Structure 1
Amino acid sequence: MLGLQYFSFSDVWSPVLMSFMLLITAGYFLIVGPLSERFPHSEPTSAGRKVMFVAGMFLMHLAQGGPVNLLGHTMFSFHMLSMALSYIVAPPLLMLGIPPWIWRSFVRFFERTPLKKLKFMVHPVVSAVLFNGLFSIYHLPVVHDYVMLNFGVHRLYYLVLFIAAVLMWWTFVSPIPERATPQGLKKLGFIYLNMVLLTPACGLIIFASEPLYATYSDPNIWAQAMGYCVPGGDPAALLSQFGGPEFFGFLETRVDQQVGGILMKFIQELIFASMLAYVFFQWYRQENKEDAEDELIADVPPHELNQA
């Protein structure tokens, strides 16, 4: 059980956050269901979109308020799994789960506010650099340990990172079909750019010759950070009961750190490589279709074209 048996249901599942997530999900079903008629330009929402939204919400809670979140405070590998679920897997599911007519309403509202000046942040290169830069900075040891030891900064940083992830995914998900997003080779290039930008941070973690993060190697700092994760957690009591993070880990600290870096890079590579293949074949099919249409037109006698 990886030590979960030592914690209460409240510690493992964070009922307050769970209630908040359930409220958002209930609001979603009301808006796309009975209340949709009150919104102009609303359209029926498919079952597939609803399933993707629920899956995204479940994974977000699992990573930020469920067992993966708790285990992420005891083992670095689970921390990286939490990051991957929160920013690589869940955002596109949530974005695809929200129907285009809701996104159109949101964008129209956004464009009437001063925030429209930040529109440039949706540009594929800007959003890629922003997200991967924030992710990489966060995993600098001094930054990571500071964020983990300051609850307010921790929540704010994670919120900003989630927004940056949504901006990054906007190019690939295209939640509003009629809004132009890069296609073909350009889209392939932006996918590859994201794959490359995350490599230095993962490389630093994977090839480090010693443990980088005091949160997972110093019992006192671990107990302080763990105190924020467990409701009412007393660092002294946690330290007395468990002694430190090594109580839970079945891997040596440096190995656990390496596994975390590999896990994050593997999940990112798997998802983005799948996207590369999908976009490439879509582009290849479109190019062949256009070539076939050109050949068909070329075979039609000129007098028939004139008659048409």
Structure 2
Amino acid sequence: MIDIILDEFHFSTLWNGGILLFLLFGLIIYFFLLPNDGQASRGKAVLFIASMVILFLAIASPLNVIARIKFSSHVIQLVLLLLVVPPLFIAGFKPKIIKLVREYRLLDKIISISTNPVVAFLLFYSLFYLYHIPVIFNYVRIDLFLNYVYLLILFNAALLLWISILYGKIKRIGLYILTNILAFLPFIIVLMVAKNSLYSVYTDINLFMSALALCLPDWDTIPEDFFVSLLPFDPVVEQIKGGGIFLISQLAVFIGSILYKKKVK
């Protein structure tokens, strides 16, 4: 069904060239402009490239369009953006840059506070749950600027959380990661037990059109019947699938982070 739907969209709608250029520019800066102290191995470079590729797939590929049609695809987008890209990005970043930044007392203090495990935890999960309050989610998803700004803020909060997980001075890292796993459970449980659609942007035709229109050029020339044809997915089933995807994904990622933490000690 999805492949038939995507056939109706223009290539430029499915693939965001602007974001691709931005990420390519980031790779150029990483390899040619940022200083290197010899610790940036090939392995780190591979991890950084992987983070950029997955980031592109999460926000600039057909997945971004599908996520506006299917809630389970939105969950996959979240998993990539918040659980997969940040640890890869951090593990692949050049240590020299961090050392240079931390030479400035004010910046060092800001970094120390923002990556404190408790601060990073509270900041990330507050933003995550705020984003998924139905009235806020429905409103943000139909505004292009707000949607990208909020996701950018949430992504940065995820970076702080993952810095605290991968490199923070946590005596009981297993307990901290378990706390993170449990923190996602209310979101997952609500998705899996809700009997009705939580987010009108996936069921109300007017909100749905407004959300999808952000991805479509000249959307006002497209008949409403086309948008109606894009709503064949049961929203409750999509929520249950999304909850299952998030549960399995976060368990896999957080368990993997424990193994990585033991390796870098």
State TM-score, norm by structure 1: 0.78
- Cα deviations by residue, 1:17-46 (Å, 9 ceiling, x for unpaired): 1111111111111135xxx37xxxx22521
- Cα deviations by residue, 1:102-159 (Å, 9 ceiling, x for unpaired): 12123334x435x945742211122112212211221111111011022222122111
Pick aligned residue for 2:89 from 86, 94, 109: 94
Q: Report the Cα distance in structure 1 between the residues aligned to 2:142 and 2:220, rounded to whole angstroms.
A: 12
Report the counterpart of residue 170 of structure 2 in structure 1: 182
Is residue 106 of structure 2 the alignment partner of residue 112 of structure 1?
A: yes
5+ unaligned residues in a row in structure 2: which ranges? none
Q: Report the Cα distance in structure 2 between the residues aligned to 1:10 and 1:119, rounded to whole angstroms.
A: 41
Is residue 237 of structure 2 the alignment partner of residue 261 of structure 1?
A: no
Q: What amino acid maps onto 2:41 in structure 1?
A: S
Pick aligned residue for 2:187 from 191, 201, 209: 201
Pick aligned residue for 1:52 from 47, 50, 62: 47
Cα 1:2–1:199 shift into 2, 3 Å: farther
Higher relative contact order (CA 8 A, sep 6+): 2
Q: What amino acid maps onto 1:27 in structure 2?
A: I
How far the C-alpha of 1:172 sits from its partner, in A, is: 2.1
**Where do residues 78-93 of structure 1 align in structure 2 (5 Å cutoff)?**
78-93=73-88
Report the counterpart of residue 306 of structure 1 in structure 2: none
Structure ID, larger Rg = 1
Pick aligned residue for 2:231 from 237, 246, 263: 246
RMSD of aligned Cα (Å): 2.3
**Where do residues 215-230 of structure 1 align in structure 2 (5 Å cutoff)?**
215-230=201-216
**Where do residues 267-306 of structure 1 align in structure 2 (5 Å cutoff)?**
267-276=249-258
5+ unaligned residues in a row in structure 1: which ranges? 175-179, 287-308
Q: What amino acid maps onto 2:65 in structure 1?
A: L
- Cα deviations by residue, 1:182-228 (Å, 9 ceiling, x for unpaired): 24xx1111111111111111211121111111111111111101111
Q: Report the Cα distance in structure 2 between the residues aligned to 1:144 and 1:31, rounded to whole angstroms.
A: 38
State TM-score, norm by structure 2: 0.90
Q: Report the Cα distance in structure 2 between the residues aligned to 1:238 and 1:139, rounded to whole angstroms.
A: 30
Q: What amino acid maps onto 1:181 in structure 2?
A: K
Contact 1:224–1:235 (8 Å) recurs in 2: no
Q: Report the Cα distance in structure 2 between the residues aligned to 1:194 and 1:235, rounded to whole angstroms.
A: 43
Report the counterpart of residue 177 of structure 1 in structure 2: none
Percent identity, aligned pairs only, is: 27
Contact 1:191–1:272 (8 Å) recurs in 2: yes
Cα 1:83–1:143 shift into 2, 3 Å: same
Q: Report the Cα distance in structure 2 between the residues aligned to 1:233 and 1:206, rounded to whole angstroms.
A: 37
Report the counterpart of residue 56 of structure 2 in structure 1: 61
